[in-house]
């Protein structure tokens, strides 16, 4: 394997930019190619982030023999097609969250990665954050006793534009896939797959979900209360509580660099903190590198089963809200 991990970035939007900046902080990573629907945009991105090759399509990135990993940073509606092409070209894939539009698409992608023996990971960077790893260890080790509840919200006031990827049904917009995926993934990280999902919410004029509230229940007497919104500034905090204490994650819980463990007996709270490298996308990139060097097809931090279980919760919630995407009809 090449001593440096050579990335090909697909799309030139918001997250592609932030990810490229974080990759620049890692000595053993480099971006060798970028692809856009517009060659001009790819060239501009390449100049700005010191990328060797710019392509006016996404497929050329996957076909570039110097690319080890394709990073898919397109709207949700495109994830399946671009990731599928890259896997078929034999390229490892880091695909933005939510992995796909629905669980059926996720199953298809995972089956293809298994068949082609190619690495695939959802870019659920929160799970690679060292503090979230510590959180999971503490909860699993009984630091708060038996877990009983997870509460989490993530939301912001997005400017309404029916053509924007956040609101357009044909781009699989909506609060669940964009922000709701984080609270759902956090609850899955700490409690596993739920027994049942109940969702309620409001819809945007385009018919996608605007604000969603979810109640999940789990074997072992645990519940989760989760919210995602594109139409309100939520606290963006989280907490996990158990029989013997609780842990508070401050705003914004998904990229936090600290949390506090409280005990009901009045003991002094304990704060756990780390200094994050860059914005925090560095950790998912390092995890991809570790997996590739170890010859893994999936990351134990964001396993295929985990991504699929999260998609199943999102499907259930979305179904209860009556939100359907064009991609749902194809599967
Ligand atoms: N991990 C995170 O923290 C994080 C944060 C934000 C978003 N995301 C995820 O990253 C993905 C992209 O989000 P983003 O915020 O980067 O979106 P964005 O700023 O709108 O960029 C998306 C890019 O996708 C490409 N694209 C392809 N087909 C498109 C279409 N029909 N309409 C618009 N753009 C299209 C465009 O690049 P070209 O024109 O160059 O082809 C565009 O710049 C989503 O899956 C989202 O959930 C993750």
User: Which domains does the chain carry?
Assistant: 5-124 (3.40.50.720), 130-275 (3.30.360.10)
Average pLDDT over residues 84-90: 98
Q: For ligand 1, pick from 70, 75, 252, 282 the residue to mutate: most ligand atoms within 8 Å of CB.
A: 75
Task: Specify the pLDDT at position 3.
Answer: 80
Cα-flanking dihedrals φ and ψ of residue 143, to 5°? -60, -25
Task: Specify the pLDDT at position 251.
Answer: 97
pLDDT class for 1, splitting at 50, 70, 90? low
Q: Is the CB of 14 under 6 A from ligand 1?
A: yes
**Does residue 2 register a pLDDT over 80?**
no
Would you say 19 and 71 are in contact if contact means Cβ atoms under 8 Å apart? yes
Cα-flanking dihedrals φ and ψ of residue 86, to 5°? -65, -45
Q: Is the CB of 68 under 6 A from ligand 1?
A: no
Average pLDDT over residues 316-328: 95
What predicted TM-score, i.e. pTM, was given to this entire model?
A: 0.98
Q: Is the CB of 178 under 6 A from ligand 1?
A: yes
Run of H or E residues at 289: helix 282-293
Q: Which long-range contacts (CB under 8 A, 24 or more apart) does 260-268 make?
A: 261/138, 261/143, 261/144
Q: Which residue has the tokens 């705003």?
A: 251
In the reported structure, the alpha carbon of residue 318 is separated from the centroid of ligand 1 by a whole-number distance in angstroms of 21
Report percent pLDDT > 70 for the chain.
99
Q: What CA–CA distance (Å, rounded) separates 152 from 227?
A: 6
244, two tokens: 């013997």
Q: What CA–CA distance (Å, rounded) separates 52 from 60?
A: 13
88, two tokens: 């078929």
Average pLDDT over residues 206-214: 98
CA terminus-to-terminus distance, the chain: 36
**Is-catalytic flag, 97?**
yes
Q: Decide which of 104 and 265 is more confident.
A: 104
Closest Cα to atom 33 of ligand 1: 165
pLDDT class for 267, splitting at 50, 70, 90? confident
Residue 45 CA, closest ligand 1 atom number? 40
In the reported structure, the alpha carbon of residue 84 is separated from the centroid of ligand 1 by a whole-number distance in angstroms of 17
Annotated catalytic residue, options 43, 48, 91, 97: 97
Q: For ligand 1, pick from 10, 12, 15, 44 the residue to mutate: most ligand atoms within 8 Å of CB.
A: 15
Q: What is the average pLDDT value for the chain, to the nearest integer?
A: 97
Would you say 117 and 92 are in contact if contact means Cβ atoms under 8 Å apart? no
**Does residue 151 register a pLDDT over 80?**
yes
Scored b (16 or more CB within 10 A) or e, 201-218 reads bebbebbbbbbbbbebeb
Closest Cα to atom 7 of ligand 1: 15
Task: Specify the pLDDT at position 265.
Answer: 87
**Does residue 220 register a pLDDT over 90?**
no
- Sheet strand arrangement including 238-242: 196-203, 209-218, 222-229, 147-155, 238-242, 245-249, 258-262, 270-273
Q: Is the CB of 15 under 6 A from ligand 1?
A: yes
Task: Specify the pLDDT at position 331.
Answer: 59
pLDDT class for 117, splitting at 50, 70, 90? very high
Q: Is the CB of 82 under 6 A from ligand 1?
A: no
Give the residue among 152, 131, 155, 133 at the shortest CA–CA distance from 240. Answer: 152
Residue 76 CA, closest ligand 1 atom number? 45
Closest Cα to atom 8 of ligand 1: 15
Task: Specify the pLDDT at position 324.
Answer: 96
Give the residue among 54, 228, 248, 206 at the shortest CA–CA distance from 153. Answer: 228
Q: How many residues does the chain have?
A: 331
């Amino acid at each position: 394997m090449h001593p440096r991990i050579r990335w090909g970035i697909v799309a030139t939007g918001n997250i592609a930019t932030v990810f490229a900046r974080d990759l620049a902080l890692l000595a053993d990573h480099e971006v060798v190619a970028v692809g856009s629907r517009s060659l001009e945009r790819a060239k501009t991105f390449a100049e700005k982030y010191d990328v060797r090759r710019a392509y006016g399509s996404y497929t050329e990135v996957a076909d570039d023999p110097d690319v080890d990993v394709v990073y898919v940073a397109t709207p949700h509606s495109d994830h399946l097609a671009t990731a599928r092409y890259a896997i078929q070209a034999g390229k490892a894939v880091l695909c933005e969250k939510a992995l796909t539009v629905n669980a059926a698409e996720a199953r298809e992608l995972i089956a293809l990665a298994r068949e082609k023996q190619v690495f695939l990971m959802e870019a659920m960077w929160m799970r690679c954050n060292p503090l979230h790893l510590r959180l999971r260890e503490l909860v699993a080790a009984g630091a708060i006793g038996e877990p009983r509840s997870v509460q989490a919200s993530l939301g912001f006031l997005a400017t309404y534009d029916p053509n924007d990827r956040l609101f357009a049904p044909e781009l699989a917009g909506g609060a669940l896939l964009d922000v709701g995926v984080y609270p759902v993934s956090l609850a899955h990280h700490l409690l596993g797959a739920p027994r049942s999902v109940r969702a309620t919410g409001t819809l945007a004029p385009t018919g996608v979900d605007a604000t969603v509230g979810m109640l999940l229940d789990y074997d072992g007497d645990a519940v989760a209360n989760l919210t995602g919104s594109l139409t309100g500034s939520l606290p963006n905090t989280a907490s996990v509580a158990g029989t013997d204490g609780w842990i508070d994650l401050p705003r914004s819980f998904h990229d936090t660099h600290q949390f506090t463990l409280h005990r009901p007996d009045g003991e002094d709270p304990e704060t756990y903190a780390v200094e994050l490298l860059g914005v925090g996308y560095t950790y998912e990139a390092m995890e991809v590198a570790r997996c590739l060097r170890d010859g893994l097809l999936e990351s134990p931090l964001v396993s295929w089963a985990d991504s699929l279980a999260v998609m199943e919760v999102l499907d259930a919630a979305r179904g209860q809200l009556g939100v359907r995407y064009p991609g749902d009809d194809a599967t």
